[in-house]
Chain A
């Protein structure tokens, strides 16, 4: 049962090393690393998904606070957009955390004579889908960029918005709000809240920052300039992870020793990883990131298979 999990203090140094590795990879690839952190904690240390999600949100809260403190001086945060989005984000985080609670108490499932706990099975499958989606998107995009660059074709700085994104952006559903800091004259509040809810749900259930959805949504749906989207995304992650760690602590899903070890490891690792990014080309870094996601898929599938066959 997930509640039986006890993390020994003797694991503390290994968890710092693990945080260093994931933080280093996150820093190198320019991502938070939550999508790798949670499944790998389960695979490598046997941490139940509910504890991994709650504790990873604690680690993310610290990292995003540090990043926002550093980013705020650049003035690239649209505070009005960030505050408006918080309502949707908080609701989404709570909904995601409650879905995880339902899974935590769902007990075991018997499939083809093999017994396994429902939370591990569902979360592993959701993570496999998420990692395949992210890895595939990143590999396709990086290969396209590499191909275009070798053909000396000039790249557009931003891809054109899809018809759905354009329709959402021009939707006249009351109340309409203006976002002067992002250069947006009028946009429906419901669009902002929906983006917040979707990313918040992923945060609360999976322990990820949700930047891979929020960033494109801010740029292509709302029409934010990319620099403002980056700053506002950081601000939003700080609140979603802060609220996430609070609501998960009410549910007993936060292991403080794990949070501290991950914070120490990822803080140092992210700086080391980021310093090496400068020496590597952008598309190749994204290609490596995509491949890494598939390594994560293989590890989650092997762990799930072993658990399923050996009990």
Chain B
């Protein structure tokens, strides 16, 4: 679970209530890149599954 620890440590300074809080650039980047990357991966994977199997999967919410 090394990557989980890494994610946790990355956000360990992210205490917005602490005085003089400044978010680290790596933390900011991962906050946006992580969901977008997972979203793109899932979206294209589901499209591939639909194309290969010739079925339309449920859309879900968003």
A residues in contact (CB < 8 Å) with B:
1-4, 7, 9, 12, 23, 26-27, 29-33, 50, 58-71, 73, 101, 104-105, 209, 211, 233-234, 237, 241-242, 245-246, 248-257, 259-260, 263, 267, 270-271, 273-275, 277-278
One digit per residue, 1 when the CB lies within 8 angstroms of any chain A CB and 0 when it does not, for chain B 22-55 equals 0100011011101110111011101100000000
Q: Tally chain B residues at the interface, Cβ within 8 Å.
A: 37
Task: Please indicate the chain B residues that have their CB under 8 angstroms from the CB of A59 in the complex.
Answer: 35
A62 B38 Cβ-Cβ under 8 A: yes
Q: B39 to chain A: which residues have CB within 8 Å?
A: 61-66, 69
B interface list, Cβ under 8 A from A: 1, 4-5, 7-8, 10-11, 13-18, 21, 23, 27-28, 30-32, 34-36, 38-40, 42-44, 46-47, 57-62
Chain A residues within an 8 Å CB radius of B14: 249, 252-255
Contact of A9 with B62 in the complex, beta carbons under 8 Å: no
A26 and B38 form a contact (CB under 8 A)? no
For the complex with contacts A23-B61, A256-B31, 12 further pairs of A-B residues with Cβ separation under 8 Å are A3-B15, A9-B1, A31-B61, A65-B43, A66-B38, A67-B60, A70-B43, A104-B17, A211-B62, A256-B27, A263-B35, A267-B38
Contact A70 B47 (CB under 8 A): yes
Which residues from A are CB-within-8-Å of B47? 69-70, 73
Cβ B7 vs Cβ A256 within 8 A: yes
**A61 near B10: Cβ-Cβ < 8 Å:** no
Task: Find the B residue at minimum CB distance from A12.
Answer: B4
Residue in contact with A104 in the complex, picked from B7, B16, B38, B43, CB distance below 8 Å: B16
* Inter-chain contact A63/B31, CB cutoff 8 Å: no
Docked CA distance A70–B27 (Å): 28
Docked-complex contact A65 and B40, CB < 8 angstroms: yes
Query: B31 to A274, Cβ gap below 8 A?
Result: no
Contact partners of B4 in chain A: CB under 8 A:
9, 12, 257, 260
Distance to closest chain A CB from B2 (angstroms) = 11
Residues of A within 8 A of B1 (CB): 9, 12
Are B57 and A275 in contact (CB-based, < 8 A)?
yes
Given A254-B11, A267-B42, A67 contacting B16 (CB threshold 8 A):
no
A254–B30 CA distance with the chains assembled, in angstroms: 10
Once bound together, how far apart are the Cα atoms of A257 and B15, in whole Å? 15
Taking a contact as CB atoms under 8 Å apart, the answer to whether A275 and B15 are in contact is no
Contacting pair A245 B32 (CB below 8 A):
yes
- Residue picked from B28, B30, B42, most chain A C-beta under 10 Å: B42
Q: Does the CB pair A58–B43 fall under 8 Å? A: no
Q: Which of B11, B21, B43, B61 contacts A256 (CB 8 A)?
A: B11
The one of A30, A50, A273 that contacts B16, using a Cβ cutoff of 8 Å = A50
Contact A9 B58 (CB under 8 A): no
In the A-B complex, the 10 residue pairs with the closest CB atoms: A274-B58, A65-B39, A3-B17, A69-B43, A252-B16, A270-B60, A62-B35, A66-B43, A27-B60, A249-B31
Contact assessment for B17 and A70 in the assembled complex, using a CB-CB cutoff below 8 Å: no
Q: Which of B8, B59, B62 contacts A257 (CB 8 A)?
A: B8
Instruction: Check A33 against B61 for contact (C-beta < 8 Å).
Output: yes
**Chain B residue with the shortest CB-CB distance to A1:** B17
Contact A58 B34 (CB under 8 A): yes
Q: Verify A278–B61 contact, CB threshold 8 A.
A: no
Does A23 lie within 8 Å of B16, measured CB to CB? Answer: no
Are B28 and A246 in contact, with the CB atoms below 8 A? yes
* Chain B residues positioned under 8 Å from A65 (CB to CB): 35-36, 39-40, 43
